[in-house]
Amino acid sequence: MLATLTHKRVVLGVSGGIAAYKSADLVRRLRDAGAEVQVVMTAAAQQFITPLTMQALSGNPVHTELLNADAEAGMGHIELARWADLVLIAPASADVMARLAQGVANDLLTTLWLATRAKRAVAPAMNQQMWAAQVTQDNVAKLQTHQVTVFQPASGSQACGDVGAGRMLEAVELAQHCANLFQTGALTGKRVVITAGPTREALDPVRYISNHSSGKMGFSLAEACIEAGAHVTLISGPVHLATPDRVAQVKVISALDMLAASQKAVAEGCDLFIATAAVADYRPANIAEQKIKKVGDAISIELVKNPDIVATIAQLPNRPFVLGFAAETERVEDYARGKLSAKKLDMIACNDVSRADIGFQSDDNAMTVFWRNNGRVQLDKSPKAHIARALVALCAQQMNNLDEQSR
């Protein structure tokens, strides 16, 4: 199993059917591949396997009711829909698939299915004649037109004694198929350099100037670029995050350190430069060799301007495609478009950090993305992993457009 589900959030929906016993193994396989799993069970599913079993295997409470006071006080059905990177229903009975195809939302599972922006997939399991029925095949086709992935069932002997197609795929196969869903190929072979986190500008041996950046957005983008097939170098200021799998991380402290590392990485080969780091605009003109003592009621510190890393990279000859970030507290669009033009960027993603529910330290974000020729896309509040995938897709699209225009 490739470690391609690391940090992914999977909602596993279990509907009624004898194949529900395979879902227990599937939870284990998904977690082995690095995913965090939340299980949702229909009333019929609970006749075949207990919520306690799924709770023990997933390490999370199992969700069974749409209108549950305890659940709504914590992670309600909308929050669960927003939390997921993937909603997988396995087994998916003929009844559940029919309801999904018609947009029915009369229980927790079908409601969160409609409410999610995550990837969606079903693993059908039913009697071979039910699977072959034209109405079932019509429902399958309708789901596929709505960008639902259908993991086609296997053939073989069934619990009812029939032989034919309709058996749910084995857990190890489904886990691998889920991992494959995140491999987009949009940046296959591309070399990406990403800056992330804050910088620290030393005042003396023990004090520094910095900001509240957690690095989460940049690290999410690194994972999204890996999923898209890129080779990724992540230049990170001081953060408390694990290095994403298959990412080459370069750790730095100051803005000057980050600039030097960025120039070196770009010189070694770069197709896409993503500047998410919250680089300190200024640094102390002089760093005290010894700890500054507390003397008097005020202190004056002379600051000098730091180099603008993203603008420096954007003005290089034979430069890469450059995505910049702007964290603003007012006049978000005006400032973003101004920076897009002044810094000669290809694209800029801007968020309003005055909002308490997104941005620094938060697991969620919301972005407005601008590019040349008045391009604009709004990315509504979502987990940073979702925002990262959307940004990578936009970059890949615009890079392809520029390639076509240059031919």
- Which tens digits make up the pLDDT trace of 394-405? 999 999 988 877
pTM of the model: 0.80
What residues are labeled active site? Answer: 160
Number of other CB atoms surrounding residue 307 within 10 Å:
12
Which secondary structure element, helix H or strand E, spans residue 96, and what is its range?
Answer: helix 94-102
Give the H/E segment covering residue 273: strand 272-275
Burial class for 288, CB neighbours closer than 10 Å (0-12, 13-18, 19+): middle
CB neighbour list of residue 341: distance below 8 Å, 6 or more residues apart: none
Number of residues assigned to the chain: 407
Structural contact between residues 196 and 237, judged by C-beta atoms closer than 8 angstroms: yes
pLDDT tens digits, one per residue of 237-259: 999 999 988 899 999 999 999 99
User: For 260, what's the count of Cα atoms within 13 Å in the CB-facing half-sphere?
Assistant: 7
Token pair in block for residue 176: 């691998």
**Which is more confidently placed, 294 or 149?**
149
Model confidence at 146, in pLDDT bands (50, 70, 90)?
very high
pLDDT digits over 79-110, tens only?
Answer: 889 899 999 999 999 999 999 999 999 999 99
Is residue 206 within 8 A of residue 292, CB to CB? The reply is no
Q: Which helix (H) or strand (E) holds 167?
A: strand 163-167
Q: Encoding tokens for residue 155? A: 């053939």
DSSP-derived pairing of the beta strands 347-352 and 364-371: antiparallel
Write out pLDDT tens, residues 169-219.
Answer: 999 999 999 999 988 889 999 999 999 999 999 999 999 999 989 999 999
pLDDT of residue 73: 46
Structural domains in the chain, sorted by start: 9-181 (3.40.50.1950), 191-288+296-406 (3.40.50.10300)
